[in-house]
Every structure is written in C-alpha cells, then in structure tokens.
Chain A
Amino acid sequence: MTDTILDARRLLCPLPVIRTQDAVQKLQYGQTLKVLCSDPGVVQDIPAWCRVHGHEILNIQEGDDEIVITILVCNTE
C-alpha cells in the first residue's frame, strides 16, 4: 500500500523532481511515495534523483497522458 501520493501533473521538470524531493524528506525509511506526472522527462529525472539519493524505484507506469512512479524511501540521512 502506498503511504503518500504526490500530484505533480502539469508540472514540467525539474519541478516534479523538486516536489518529489520535498515529499521524500517527510517520509520514513521503508515508506513509499507514488508520484503522478505528465511531463515525460520524469521518466529520466526522477530515477536519476533517486539513484543519487539512494532511493529505489519500485515501478514506473507510462500511460498516454500520465506517468506514475512509485518510490521506496531507502535513505533518510
């Protein structure tokens, strides 16, 4: 079950990344964040942000108009 949902639709990169970053900072180790996006750039940028911060991408669902990325918070430093 997802702990938090972030609606970042209609935002263009890097804003979805920034909102993701801000949301993850409020979560605990092991919690999950589902990010709803419309900018296709997130498919590259959010995983890149997760890699440099040590979080795990659990799933990326790409639809015609919406992309849903689920993140597992792995690093709470």
Chain B
Amino acid sequence: MISGGLDSLLAARVVMEQGVHVEGINFYTGFCVEGHTHAIRKKDRARPKRNNALWSAEQLGIKLHIVDIIDEYKDVVLNPRHGYGTNLNPCLDCKIFMVEKAHEWLVANDFDFIVTGEVIGQRPMSQRRDTMPVIARDSGAADRLVRPLCAKYLPETLPEREGWLDRDQLYAFNGRSRKPQMALATRFGFADYAQPAGGCCFLTDRQYSVKLADLWRSRGRRDYELDDIMLLKVGRHLRPRPGFKLIVGREEGENKFLEGYRKRFVHMFPVSHTGPLVLLDGELEAGDLELAARLTARFSKGRDAASVTVQAGDLDGSVQMLDVVPFPGEDIPADWYL
C-alpha cells in the first residue's frame, strides 16, 4: 500500500530488497489532500505538486494501481465502528477498510501478501501496538499483512513462516521519531521524499471537519456526494442562517473551479468591479439574494464603493442585475464564517 509518504516507500523497498515482486496500490477516498487544492488555486499552479504515490512508484520502479473507493468509503466516514479522532477522521476504520480493499485486490490479482508502512506508535489512533492486530483481524488480511518497518515487534506473518521473507532483515522501528526512517532512506539512496505535513486527509483538518459537520447539520442528515466534499475544500464558506450558505471564491483559480457548478447553484458575481464567483446553497428566502449580493460586493474590488452591480444567475438560466451597497466587512458576524 503506497500512500506517497516515506514509510510506505521504505516498507516496499525493504521487501523488494529480499527479491519479492511488489506492485503498489493506492486508494482515493475523495478526502485525500493530494494535489486537489493546489490544482484549484491559481497561485499554487506555478509550483505544480506531484502525486507522491506515483512518484514513490517511480522511485521503486513498480506499477501503481490507484483505486477509486469514493462511494464505498462513505460508510467509513458516516459510521466508524471505532469512532473519530480529534476531528471527523475515522483513522482506524479507514486503515481497516483500506487493508480490506487491498486484500480483495490481492485475491483477485493472485498476489500473496500486503505490505504497509505502519510503525507502532507513529500515529495515535491507527498505528498503536493494540490496534495493529485489530487491523489485521478486521480487514480479513490476518497474517498476510506485513509491516516491515516494525515487524520485529509483531507476531510472525505467513510470508515469514513460509520463508518468502527473512524476519532478520525486517525492522523494529517504533514511536514518533523519524530518524530511523531517514537513516534507512539514506541507506537506500532516497534523498528526495515527501515530508510529513500533518496528514494526508482533509478529515484530520479541524476547519474542514467543521464545514462537513455543518453540511450534515444543515441538511438534517449525514450524507455527502463527491461534489459536496470537493466544494468544502474551496472558497470562503459563510452561513448567514441555517438553510442558506454562500461559497465565495477567493481567487481566480477558485472562481474558475466554482464556475463549473453554475448550472447547479444560484450564483452571482460583480460586473461593475472585479470580484468573486459566489455559489448560493440552500432554499432561498426573501432577502437572501440581496444579502448575498451585498456580501459578494464586500469581497470584490468594489468593497469601498458606494454601489456595486452584481449579476445573479438562477437555475433556469435567467439573470438579473442587483445594484447593492457592499456589506461592511466589520459587520459580518464571526459565526457566519465556517
């Protein structure tokens, strides 16, 4: 299982060093940080972000199979048996699910065992001594799940018993220190690898989790589609009242991305001044359109103007012009911001 981080890169390399044929598998949940916001925001395009899982596969000289698990993953997010972490991150259930999917792939493609870069004590929820056996058991992978970086702390696995892997050449890393991994990376000649950057999943992000919880609350049900979770990654989100939210593009790249949703949302943008594209989410009530237009004007270059003309587009394709006074920035209640 190749995440794109250093640990999975090393784990695969350790096994390859013993002459094992390895192919990489990587799962896409929809919440992966990898690439997305960088692709959307124009300012980030000058330094394009590589897909680290693909990069790892290239370094290793192995194939990488990227698997879309967006739909199946919903149940993990909505009903985690082992609960959430600090935010809406169901890390243990996520790991179990991914190993389970890897095991299904292994069976379907006639492979023998799964390798992960897990290290005991590395992460507080999914990489603990007591959760390692839970992942192996609940995923169904059982003793076909090998963690080469901390194997010496764990029971012997099938590949070790069968002689496919020499346990003596596996490792005993543990804890949060990255020094052993960095030393091993140096030994293998990996000078350039993804640095730990606070997680690979938006669900570990506090602000993102707040927006997701708000989405569920406002709809009265815990559910989502891919577009919902993508839109939570983009723009400023303001909720003036429970059933009404604005998504305000923050720069050209985000505006362009939001343009793709114009047929599905009432939307608006200033025409007298440069400014954001704004999507209006929810059932609009009297006064909402004007309020949204004033907020749109507030986030435009006309924020200090006496009047800004905003074009609003309805779902039926009709448009109307609104001349509004920009909403004073200091008057926007802090609790409107998600």
Contact = CB atoms under 8 A, between A and B. Distances in A.
A48 B48 contact: no
A39 to B, nearest CB: 5
Q: Which 3 A-B pairs have the closest CB atoms?
A: A48-B54, A13-B35, A41-B39
Given A43-B48, A44-B48, A13 B34 contact: yes
Contact of A48 (B32, B50, B62, B68): B50
Interface string A14-31: 110110010000000000
A48 B260 contact: no
A43 B50 CA distance: 10
Contact of A12 (B36, B48, B62): B36
Contacts of A21: 65-66
Among B34, B39, B53, B67: residue with most chain A CB under 10 A: B39
Contact of B51 (A14, A40, A53): A14
A17 B51 contact: yes
Contacts of A15: 28, 68
A40 B28 contact: no
Size class of the B contact interface (CB-based, 8 Å) = 20 to 34
Interface of B is mostly: mixed
A3 interface: no
B152 interface: no
A53 B65 CA distance: 9
B57 interface: yes
Contact of B39 (A17, A39, A51, A53): A39
Nearest to B256: A65
Contacts of A45: 35, 50-51, 54
B289 to A, nearest CB: 27
Interface string A38-77: 0111011100110111000000000000000000000000
Given A12-B35, A43-B48, A44-B48, A53 B63 contact: yes
26 contacts: A12-B40, A12-B230, A13-B34, A13-B35, A13-B39, A14-B28, A14-B32, A14-B34, A14-B66, A17-B66, A18-B67, A21-B65, A21-B66, A39-B39, A40-B39, A41-B49, A44-B50, A44-B51, A45-B50, A48-B51, A48-B55, A49-B54, A49-B64, A49-B66, A52-B54, A53-B64
Nearest to A51: B58
Given A13-B51, A52-B57, A52-B62, 7 more contacts: A12-B36, A14-B28, A14-B35, A17-B51, A41-B48, A41-B51, A48-B54
A48 B58 contact: yes
Contacts of B50: 44-45, 48
B64 A52 contact: yes
Given A10-B260, A40-B45, A49-B54, A18 B39 contact: no
Given A14-B28, A48-B55, A41 B62 contact: no
A51 B59 CA distance: 11
A33 B112 CA distance: 32
Nearest to A13: B35
